[in-house]
Structure 1
Amino acid sequence: MASTSMVHTDPVAWVTGPRQQSCAAAAPTPVSSTVSGLEGYGRQLDGRTLEEARSFIQRMDYSTTTWQDDDDDTILHIYTAKGLREYAYAAAEKLKELGKLDSKEHKGKTALLVAVAANQPDIVQDLISLGADVGVCDVKGQTALHLAATYGFPRVMQIILFMGLQVNLEARNFEGLTPLHCAAISHSATMKAVAFPSSNPAAWLGERNDKFLCLDLLLNAGASLLSQEIKSNKTLLHLAVKEGNVHLVRYLLSIRPDEMQAIINMKAHGHTALHMAAGLHGSPYQEELIRLLLQHGADPSTRNLENDQPAHLLQSGDTGDKLKLILKRRGTSSRRRITSLQDQD
């Protein structure tokens, strides 16, 4: 066993060499999850390794246990980042006793936020079960949900959402974005990445699906479609249309058709989603997006702050002329319907 002075210099040196190999060779003694409803979700704790880690941590003095390196990482941050689950668990137990479970490193991340960013769902579960603050944010205002949504880690997000905690789905980071906004922006970035020749199709497909699942999890948990990001008041629909993400727009328009009546013509600094679709010059999905929005009640007569209707934002040339006819026909149809209703009154 290494001395505590050695650990103070390098808290993980003792577990990254021969000692780690001997632990791996031993027959594991599983420890069941203590979290109700998530039993068997991830791999079980190795009981033998956990007791060994507990014994080691208990022999540390206070200064070693609470030690932080030049980046303000505690031993818990380091064990978490390395994915050393049993040692992270033992360190978390000890730091909880000392009131330092949510200590932050230089970027404002607690061990829980490090676990989320490192895609360590089992450690995320352990830390939350031990009382880690799921609402804490880093220096950018990002909570655990923001990070899981941005990186596209659905297993991590499931644990955060389904552990029975009061989680703020509408929390804002310092850019004014909710986790749902982050999920949409991240999904759109991945959808665009397929256009690059260097893209790995299999990896891209997996990333796309993971990010979509994160978005779906947030919506099913009750995240609001009406939430507007603070800088420009964009809703989830605005964000998807602006990036030409037709796959996400199709999904949003299909899941809650009743709510779309309140959302479809909402403005973001004067622009409706239809204005944004009209401005997608050169996008292969421009026409489909315009048709989709019109089919779900988008009003082509709405004007932005410059007094422009969507048709005024279209490109010149044959494509623009074709889209103008689509908008004009729908606008005429809408006026006829309104006139008919007025006549009935």
Structure 2
Amino acid sequence: MLIGSAHMARILSEVNNDPDLREENISGKIYEKLPVFHSEEWKKDNLNLDHEFTVGYCERTLLESASMGNFTNVMHYLIKAGASVDMKNANGNTVLHTVSTIGLEDGVRILINNNASIDAQDQNNHAPLHLAVANNHVRIVERLIEQGAKVNICNVEQQTPLHLAVNKEIENLLLKGGADPSLKDLSGHTPEYYSMPLSHFNNCS
């Protein structure tokens, strides 16, 4: 049985705003607000903080759901209580992939401060840096590079983050961080090919 995304968000929002929230009671605070079916299923798993709930039509841990709602207090105390920062979902995404895609700077900060794997790769070999670049999250790109993210890491298409950059500020951050503009992807293209204006390809002269 699934729990709706909005319902889970309401639960985590209430817990996030609880002034008495602590590492020692976060499991109980969430447990008492869950629908009976889900609380009983979680109880069978000994309130495992890495238990995957069916939220919407996806399997998500509490940490992933909290990150998607930017519920930073819940994130903080779940991690302190032992939730894994590097557990992957069905698509191979860690929570750092999730917050880098959405653009949640506080979530990125919390995860990095708790030693999340900065270069973890999903099923398409995308690292969080690929996703932050592709979604134009400048400050997250900057933070990941500052924390040592590999700027020449490749996805399954052999594309580095620079291949995905369409923002000049992001391009400059990557180049300053050591990105190699000469690297080619599986199609034989360097990053410059993807940054060319469309008019370049429509010019028959």
| Fold conserved between structures, TM > 0.5 | yes
Structure 2 residue 176 is matched with structure 1 residue 295:
yes
Residue 145 of structure 1 deviates from its aligned partner by 0.7
Change (3 A) 1:115 1:317: closer
Name the SS for the 1:120 alignment partner: helix
Distance 1:303 1:186, change over 3 A: same
The 8 Å contact of residues 79 and 85 in structure 2, kept in 1 or not, is answered as no
Which residue number in structure 1 is paired with residue 39 of structure 2? none
Q: TM-score, normalising length from structure 2?
A: 0.74
Which of 228, 231, 241 is matched with 2:133 structurally? 241
Task: Give the residue type in structure 2 aligned to 1:179.
Answer: V
State the identity as a percent: 24
Structure 2 counterpart SS, 1:312: helix
SS at match of 2:144: helix
Deviations 1:3-60 (A, max 9, x none): xxxxxxxxxxxxxxxxxxxxxxxxxxxxxxxxxxxxxxxxxxxxxxxxxxxxxxxxxx
- SS for the counterpart of 1:141 is strand
Equivalent residue for 1:182, pick from 98, 106, 115 = 98
CA contact (8 A) 2:108 2:140 kept: no
Q: 1-side partners of 2:9 and 2:141: how far apart?
A: 32
- Tell whether the 8 Å contact from 1:116 to 1:156 is kept in structure 2 after alignment: no
Decide whether the 8 Å contact of 1:149 with 1:215 is kept in 2: no
Task: Tell me which protein shows more helix as a share of its residues.
Answer: 1
Matches within 5 A, 1:66-85: none
Q: CA deviation at 1:134?
A: 1.0
Which of residues 162, 176, 179 is equivalent to 1:274? Answer: 162
Contact 2:12 2:74 in 1 (8 A): no
Inter-partner Cα distance in structure 1 for 2:66 and 2:106: 11
Q: Return 5+ residue gaps in structure 2 as ranges.
A: 32-45, 201-205
User: How far does residue 222 in structure 1 lie from its aligned partner after superposition?
Assistant: 0.9
Residue matched to 2:106 = 213
Which of 1 and 2 has greater Rg?
1
Q: How does 1:163-174 map to 2 (within 5 A)?
A: 163=81, 165=82, 167-174=83-90
Aligned residue in 2 for 1:264: 151
Seen in structure 2, the aligned counterparts of structure 1 residues 155 and 306 have a Cα distance that, compared at 3 Å, is: same
Structure ranking higher on relative contact order (CA contacts 8 Å, 6+ apart): 2
Instruction: Give distance in 1, aligned partners of 2:125 and 2:14.
Output: 31
How far 1:119 moved relative to its partner? 4.0
Q: 1:296 to 1:152 in 2, by over 3 A?
A: same
Q: Is 1:150 matched with 2:150?
A: no
1:137 alignment partner in structure 2: 52
Q: CA RMSD in A?
A: 2.6
Matches within 5 A, 1:197-208: none
| Runs of at least 5 residues in structure 1 that lack an aligned partner in the other structure | 1-105, 188-210, 281-285, 321-345
Distance of 1:116 and 1:217 partners within structure 2 = 21
